[in-house]
Amino acid sequence: MTGTIVSLPQKHFIGMSFSGSFQTLIAGMPGHWGDFLKRQDEIAQVIEPAVRYDISDENRSFQMHTEYVAVEVEGFAHIPEKMVGFTNPARTYAQFTHVGPMSQVQNTYTQLFQWLQAQGLRMDESALRLERYDERYIPSLHAADRAENAYEIFIPLLEK
C-alpha cells in the first residue's frame, strides 16, 4: 500500500456525532450512518451531496472515540436539531484508498501505518482523521462484504 501526501484546505462540516468506546462505535456505526442518511436533506449549503465523511476524534487517554458522519458545507447558516457544525483547519494528510470488503479495513489500516513508519511520518493524534465516502461505498446502503467497496482515508500528519 502506498500513500500520497496531500494538503487539504479548511473545511466546514455539518453532521451527527456518536461517542463511545471503540467496540461501541463498531457496533453502532451502521445504524448511525442510516440515521444520518435519512436526515441529510435537512442540511443546507452542501458542497457535494453524494460525498460524505466519517470523521474520527480519538481521545486515547480515556479510550473514548467520537465519530461524526457529516457532509462538507459552505457555511453554518442553519444547523439542524441534534446535529453539529464544525471547521477542520487546513493541514497535511497522508491519503490512502481502502478497496474491498469492510472486513479487510483493519488490514488496510495496518498497512497504511506501516507505510507511514517506513516514510518516517507520524500521525498527529491531536487532529481529526477523515474517511471520505462517495458512490463507491455508502455505509448502511451497500453491503459491507462487497469486493468493490472503496473509500478514501486521510491520516493527519505531524509537521516535520
pLDDT, position 31? 86
pLDDT by residue, tens only, the chain of 160 residues: 799 999 999 999 999 999 877 777 777 778 899 999 999 999 999 999 999 999 998 766 656 788 999 999 999 999 999 999 999 999 999 999 999 999 999 999 999 999 999 999 999 999 999 999 999 999 988 999 999 999 999 999 998 7
Of the candidates 96, 113, 114, the one whose C-alpha atom is nearest the C-alpha of residue 151 is 96
pLDDT, position 123? 95
Task: Give the range of the structural domain holding residue 80, as residue numbers without chain letter.
Answer: 4-156
Report the C-alpha gap between 11 and 110 in whole angstroms: 27
Number of separate domains in the chain: 1
Supply the CATH number for residue 64's domain.
Answer: 3.20.80.10
pLDDT, position 21? 79
Say which residues have a Cβ less than 8 Å from residue 156's Cβ, sequence separation at least 6. 91, 92, 93, 123, 124, 127, 128, 129
- Considering only CA atoms, give the Rg of the chain: 15
What are the grid coordinates assigned to 46, written together? 452542501
Q: Model pTM?
A: 0.93
